[in-house]
Amino acid sequence: MAITETVHSEEEFIFDKSITCPACGEPFKTKILKSSKARRIGSDADLRPRYAHIDTLKYGVCSCPNCGYSAVHSVFSHVVGRQIENIQQEVCARFVPEDRSSWKSYSYDQAIRLHELALRCSQAKPAKDGEKAYLHLLLAWLIREKSVQADEIADTEVREAEKESCEKQADEHYLQAFEGFERAMMNELFPIMGLNQFTMEYMMAYMAFYFGKMEVAAKLLGSVLTNKSASRHIKDNALDLKDEIIRQLKQKKQA
What residue ranges bind Zn ion (CB under 5 A)?
Answer: 21, 23-24, 64, 66-67, 69
Min dist CB 103 to Zn ion, Å, is 17
CA–CA gap between residue 160 and residue 156 (Å, rounded)? 6
Cα 20 to Cα 9: distance, rounded to the nearest angstrom: 28
The Cα–Cα gap between 75 and 69 comes to 12
Nearest distance from C-beta of residue 145 to Zn ion, angstroms: 28
Q: How far apart are CA 190 and CA 227, in angstroms?
A: 15
> By C-beta, is 103 or 190 nearer to Zn ion?
103
What is the closest distance, in whole angstroms, from the C-beta atom of residue 63 to Zn ion in the complex? 9
Minimum CB–partner distance for residue 144 and Zn ion (Å): 29
Q: How far is the CB of 127 from Zn ion (least distance, A)?
A: 17
CA angle, corner 56, sides to 14 and 212, nearest 5?
Answer: 170
Looking at the Cβ atoms of 24 and 124, the one nearer to Zn ion is 24
For Zn ion, the closer CB: 72 or 137: 72
Shortest distance (Å) from residue 91 CB to Zn ion:
10
User: Would the CA dihedral through 208, 211, 213, 214 be positive or negative?
Assistant: positive
Closer to Zn ion by CB, 26 or 244: give it. 26
Measured CA to CA, the distance from residue 210 to residue 243 in angstroms comes to 14
| Cβ distance to Zn ion smaller for residue 87 or 205 | 87
C-beta closer to Zn ion: residue 119 or 238 = 119
